[in-house]
Amino acid sequence: MTVRHGLQRAALSKHKTVSAVTHYSIPEEMEAGSVVANLATDLGLDVDTLRQRKVRLDILANKKYLDINKDTGELYIVEKMDREFFCPSKAATICFLKLDAIIESPLRIFNIELEITDINDNVPHFRRDVIHLDISESTPVGERFSLNNAVDLDVGVNSVKTYHISESDHFTVEIQTGRDGSKFADLILKRALDREEQAVHDLILTAVDGGVPARSGTATVTVRVLDANDNAPAFDRESFTINLMENSPIGGLVVKLNATDLDEGSNSEIEFSYSLYTSEKTQETFSLNQNNGEIRIKEIINYEDFKIYDMEVIAKDKGSNSLSGKCKLTILITDMNDNHPEISIKSFQNPVKEDAAMDTVIAVVSVSDKDSGENGVVDVHISDKLPFVLKSSSDNYYELIISETLDREKASEYDIMITVTDRGSPPLSDNETITLEVLDVNDNVPQFPKSFYTIPVMENNAPGALLSSLTAFDPDLRENQYLVYFIIEKEILNTSVSMLFSINPENGNLYALKTFDFEIEKEFTFHVEARDSGVPALSSNVTVHIIVMDQNDNTPVIVSPWRAHGSVVEEKIARSTDKGTLVAKVIAIDKDSVHNSRITYQFLQNTDATLFSLDQYNGEIRTTRMFSYRDARHQRLVVIAKDNGDPALSATVTIKLSTVETALKSYSDLIEEPLEYDIFSDLNLYLVIGLGSVSFLLLITILVTIVLKCQKPKPSKGAPPCRNSVISERNSTIADSTLVSNDAYWYSLFLAETRKGKLVVRQPVPKGARYVVSSIPRSTGVTDTSDSAASTLQVR
């Protein structure tokens, strides 16, 4: 063993042939890098000469497996070789790889043969994992069955050597050798098979090669035992005695014979037949089903004709050599009550009205029985839960009468079954069913699903719009079920209800005939009647409550500050005005309700945003600081009053403020003449309460009107002094929340402030040409009625 350039030289056997062919032999398991031979030494070449001359290896097989080290002249393995790849044929016991070593200048060619020897690197395997065999249970012992052989890619002693079978009481294997030396296995039956004992045998066949160590492979041998007709059919019992009543129905089952055969397939299929010992009369009276063994009655059996029937039945299988079994039967006929009672309908009143009187006779029936004694005595009854009874009228005659009130809506038809039963043993019976139709009468009032309908309608609806469908139900039939709808006439706000609403008389569809305005009319209540077409007609009515829903269809109206011309208001304000002084109060009202009337205020234009502030909820404009010499003398404020509808509606007012250097004179001698007015309710609360407070407000209005007519003005009190006043162009004075106004402005402020839940008090200014209007919280004053405002609107 020598090592050159990191390559380990393998132990090789070199053989020089007469043909000058250099022969080498290597095992197939030799690893990559192993040296096969030193060609320089073996071929008699000088290593230095070999280095100077070009050497190449021409391998007739795959060149990637071998190569020459040109520095040392060593032939080495590049990739591990598989003998079964180069020599796949089992016929070749010797595997050669031929190659040529070519040296140039001058050209020399050396022939080399490389023999690859086999190792036991392959496992025997079967072409199929499962081998199926079908063997009859009648197969004699010693019978031989060929099995598929195993395949081993190795050759010689490394190929398949022997076979083994798993332990079995019925089978063993024998090894056969072919002409080429291959081994085969035959399955030998060593004990007789019995399918009824074991139908399938599963065996394991093992193939073992001759290598060291030996390798093996397995396959499953499944032996299916085929049936042989070796079992005769057998009955459950060898003899039967059966009692049978005379007059049993034709086709009735007498007995079902059961025979079994342990074989399978056609060997277990059984046919039944009568034997020669069965009389023709018996075969005419009873039928035998050859497939299932059922014996049934073929014709009427009469005890007086035959009392005993004897028969013998054969069960025969369908095997090639059929086998059979026998059974004897004795049928004893039992006498019985063989005449059925009879029912006859003598008269029948059909149909009948549902309001027919009690005890009305519907039908008359007669009954009879040809038997005598107890067998001829009969009992008659009708089916349970029917509003009828049977009463005996004379011998064997019965009347069917009404015993309870009929109701077609519960049952429009009755199937009345009359049953007659004799007292024989066993008893016989007969029945007759009559069908009674119940006619309808108009005895049901039309019914609405609900007794009260609340229907919301959005204001500004289109005339003729469908509001709802008021459909009633009448369980009667035909004309008694045909309903007509109409509105019960009444007046609503001095208007006939038929001018406001209409209803389709055929289907109860309710329509609006006019467009409703929530600010004028908020609800309607009337009645709708449904009447059937019966004689006499029946009717019922239902209450309809129409609720008009508010829409945002009214634009806010600005009532303060008062504007004489257009939408511009001109005011004067002292430059010495303090921070927080009330400059103006914008008041807007909206006829809508709930959130549609909630108004907020915003500046659309403000000359100096740092000088004025606007409360978005009460509309008060106040100074946020004192005027400075830098502030412009003229200020322009544009305020928008926007409601809360969707989409929102709005109104605007423009206020022009001019600053003056002089302050207004204080009125310390003002005499207050307080006038109080009861306020209906807070606006927001009124909107939330909505329609439910309409009746209450109407009552309050009537009471206030009565009180105002009887009330006198109270003594006046001195007015508190005013400071930081503003003189307006319209002869009105604003001092904090106190206003001096003419009659028109007074009235507008009265309307707006009273709806805000405040008291509006008006007193004269000295010299008598103007009035001071004060807005104070409602809780500070004494309540007066609103009608007293009429007297205070006169200029003194």
Q: What HEC string does 173-208 produce?
A: EEEEECCCCCEEEEEEECCCCCCCCCCEEEEEEEEE
CA distance 496 to 624: 59
| Same-domain status, 87 and 178 | no
Domain that holds residue 353: 342-439
pTM exceeds cut of 0.85: no
Shortest CA distance to 708 belongs to which of 788, 794, 618, 597? 788
Sign, Cα dihedral of 788, 789, 793, 796: positive
Q: What is the pLDDT of residues 35-89, one digit of tens each?
A: 888 877 777 777 776 666 666 666 544 567 787 777 777 788 888 888 878 787 7
Structure confidence at residue 692 (pLDDT): 59
Residue bearing tokens 């083994």:
164
Reading the block at residue 791, the tokens are 């007297």
* Other C-beta atoms lying within 10 Å of the C-beta of residue 434: 17
φ and ψ of 359, to 5 deg: 70, 15
CA distance 359 to 380: 19
Shortest CA distance to 601 belongs to which of 569, 558, 630? 558
* Other C-beta atoms lying within 10 Å of the C-beta of residue 215: 20
Does residue 428 lie in a domain region? yes
| Same-domain status, 644 and 761 | no
Does residue 188 lie in a domain region? yes
Q: Which DSSP symbol is given to 667?
A: -
Shortest CA distance to 349 belongs to which of 363, 329, 333? 363
Of 663, 697, 720, which residue is a domain's last? 663
Q: What is the pLDDT of residues 656-703, one digit of tens each?
A: 888 888 654 433 333 333 333 333 444 444 455 555 566 777 778 888
Write the Ramachandran bin of 746: left for phi over 0, alpha for psi from -120 to 50, otherwise beta. alpha
Does residue 445 lie in a domain region? no
> ω into residue 766 within 30 of 0, thus cis?
no
User: For residues 387 and 403, is the Cβ–Cβ distance under 8 A?
Assistant: yes
Q: Which DSSP symbol is given to 263?
A: S
| Same-domain status, 779 and 672 | yes
Reading the block at residue 8, the tokens are 């380990």
Residue bearing tokens 């890619």:
153
| Same-domain status, 356 and 416 | yes
Structure confidence at residue 170 (pLDDT): 92
CA distance 265 to 96: 60
Residue ranges for the chain with pLDDT beneath 70 = 1-20, 49-63, 90-92, 372-373, 385, 564-567, 662-694, 709-796
Sign, Cα dihedral of 558, 561, 565, 568: negative
Q: 660, exposed or middle or buried, with CB in 10 Å at 0-12, 13-18, 19+?
A: middle
C-alpha dist (Å) from residue 201 to 133, 195, 221? 10, 10, 8
Does residue 446 lie in a domain region? no
Contacts of residue 629, defined as CB under 8 A and 6 or more positions apart, other chains included, come to: none
Shortest CA distance to 212 belongs to which of 164, 157, 163, 175? 157
φ and ψ of 266, to 5 deg: -65, -25
Q: What is the pLDDT of residues 443-465, one digit of tens each?
A: 888 999 998 999 999 988 889 88
Structure confidence at residue 683 (pLDDT): 45
Shortest CA distance to 84 belongs to which of 152, 180, 160, 179? 152
Structure confidence at residue 58 (pLDDT): 61
* Other C-beta atoms lying within 10 Å of the C-beta of residue 344: 12
Task: Transcribe 31-98 into DSSP letters.
Answer: PTT-EEEEHHHHTT--HHHHHHS-EEEEESS-GGGEEEETTTTEEEESS---HHHH---TT-SSEEEE
CA distance 123 to 220: 17
What percent of the chain lies above the pLDDT cut of 70?
Answer: 78
Reading the block at residue 176, the tokens are 């056969």
CA distance 31 to 54: 27
Q: 132, exposed or middle or buried, with CB in 10 Å at 0-12, 13-18, 19+?
A: exposed
Q: Which DSSP symbol is given to 138?
A: T
Does residue 263 lie in a domain region? yes
* Other C-beta atoms lying within 10 Å of the C-beta of residue 256: 11
Q: 675, exposed or middle or buried, with CB in 10 Å at 0-12, 13-18, 19+?
A: buried
CATH of the domain at 411: 2.60.40.60
Reading the block at residue 257, the tokens are 């014979």
CA distance 328 to 209: 66
Contacts of residue 632, defined as CB under 8 A and 6 or more positions apart, other chains included, come to: 607, 608
CA atoms within 13 A on the CB side of 327: 23
| Same-domain status, 672 and 695 | yes
User: For residues 471 and 481, is the Cβ–Cβ distance under 8 A?
Assistant: no
* Other C-beta atoms lying within 10 Å of the C-beta of residue 522: 18
CA distance 134 to 85: 39
Q: Which DSSP symbol is given to 101?
A: E
Write the Ramachandran bin of 279: left for phi over 0, alpha for psi from -120 to 50, otherwise beta. beta
| Same-domain status, 216 and 135 | yes
| Same-domain status, 112 and 132 | no
Q: 423, exposed or middle or buried, with CB in 10 Å at 0-12, 13-18, 19+?
A: middle
SS (H, E, C) 301-323: CCCCCCCEEEEEEEEEECCCCCC
CA distance 248 to 267: 37
Does residue 150 lie in a domain region? yes
Domain count, the chain: 7
| Same-domain status, 88 and 31 | yes
Does residue 466 lie in a domain region? yes
CA distance 314 to 328: 9
| Same-domain status, 307 and 346 | no
* CA quadruple 498, 500, 503, 505: dihedral, nearest 10: 20
| Same-domain status, 112 and 11 | yes
Does residue 79 lie in a domain region? yes
Reading the block at residue 193, the tokens are 């098979």
Write the Ramachandran bin of 282: left for phi over 0, alpha for psi from -120 to 50, otherwise beta. alpha
| Same-domain status, 140 and 92 | no
Of 207, 226, 245, which residue is a domain's last? 226
CA atoms within 13 A on the CB side of 511: 13
| Same-domain status, 393 and 508 | no
Shortest CA distance to 512 belongs to which of 552, 449, 460, 554? 460
Of 117, 149, 183, which residue is a domain's last? 117
